[in-house]
């Protein structure tokens, strides 16, 4: 069964927009003569029976690099800071990565825009922090060590409004990324 991925030309992270900025179309032909040959085209990708839709959508390289670099947290052992802090488990890091990947992809599917790459940082008591600092907003999501624990979040628009609460990590939460990118 084919999957159709809609491409919007206004999105700089969009493959089709990249091709037009480079004056080539997806087949390598020069489009500088007529750049509107394929405006807002739908690209159909065939997938095998064993392939999931989530496997087709690749994360931006900046997000993949942040995830890859976050593996260094696993090298921090107990008392890594000399103040008794716990080390970081692969299970907790994998929960943070899964939360980030799934919600970033869901946000992209609904908006056509990739969310800014967060810092993936050591949190308190072996937890992992996902931290976004934008010009006009900040968002911190703390992924807990406990298996079924709720993630705490705090967001600030650097003005009047703040948001805070808890997130069930088994549910979709791309809404919080929408708040971040308002």
- My answer on whether 85 and 173 are in the same domain is yes
Q: Are residues 32 and 81 in the same domain?
A: no
Q: What is the mean pLDDT of residues 38-44?
A: 33
Task: For the chain, give the percent of residues with pLDDT over 90.
Answer: 58
Task: Output the pLDDT for position 40.
Answer: 33
* Same-domain pairing of 78 and 132: yes
Do 63 and 46 share a domain, yes or no? Answer: no
Domain that includes residue 77, residue range:
59-182
* Same-domain pairing of 95 and 143: yes
Render pLDDT for 144-182 as a digit per residue (tens, 0 to 9): 999 888 999 999 998 889 999 999 998 999 899 999 988
> Both 116 and 66 in a single domain?
yes
HSE-CB of 58 using CA atoms within 13 angstroms: 8
Q: What whole-number distance in Å separates Cα of residue 121 and Cα of residue 119?
A: 6
- What rounded mean pLDDT belongs to the chain? 76
pTM of the model: 0.69
Which pLDDT tens digit goes with each residue over 73-120? 999 999 888 888 899 999 999 999 999 999 999 999 999 999 999 999
Looking at the structure, do residues 134 and 151 belong to the same domain, yes or no?
Answer: yes
158, 91: one domain = yes
Core vs surface per residue 111-143: b (16+ CB within 10 A) or e: eebbbbbbebebbeebbbbbebeeeebbbbbbb
Examine the domain organization and report whether 48 and 65 are in the same domain. no
The verdict on 105 and 155 lying in the same domain is yes
Instruction: Work out the pLDDT band at 138, boundaries 50, 70, 90.
Output: very high
Token output for 168 = 């069930």
d(CA 109, CA 86): 36
Which of 129, 180, 174, 182 has the alpha carbon at shortest distance from 156? 180
Number of domains in the chain: 2
What average pLDDT does the segment 50-58 reach? 60
Residue pair 31/23 in contact (Cβ under 8 Å)? The answer is yes
Both 68 and 134 in a single domain? yes
- Distance from the first to the final alpha carbon of the chain: 35
Looking at the structure, tell me whether residues 46 and 64 fall in a common domain.
no
d(CA 102, CA 167): 14
């Amino acid at each position: 069964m084919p999957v159709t991925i809609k491409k919007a030309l206004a999105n700089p992270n969009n493959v089709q927009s990249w091709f037009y900025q480079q004056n080539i179309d997806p087949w390598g032909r020069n489009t500088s003569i007529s750049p509107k040959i394929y405006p807002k085209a739908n690209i159909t990708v065939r997938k095998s029976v064993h392939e999931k839709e989530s496997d087709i959508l690749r994360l931006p390289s900046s997000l993949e690099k942040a995830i890859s670099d976050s593996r260094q947290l696993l090298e921090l052992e107990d008392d890594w800071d000399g103040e008794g802090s716990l080390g970081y488990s692969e299970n907790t890091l994998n929960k943070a990565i899964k939360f980030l990947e799934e919600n970033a992809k869901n946000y992209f599917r609904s908006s056509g825009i990739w969310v800014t790459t967060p810092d993936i940082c050591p949190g308190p008591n072996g937890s992992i922090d996902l931290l976004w600092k934008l010009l006009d907003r900040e968002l911190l999501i703390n992924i807990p060590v406990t298996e079924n624990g709720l993630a705490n979040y705090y967001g600030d628009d650097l003005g009047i409004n703040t948001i805070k609460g808890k997130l069930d990590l088994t549910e979709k939460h791309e809404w919080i990324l929408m708040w971040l990118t308002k």
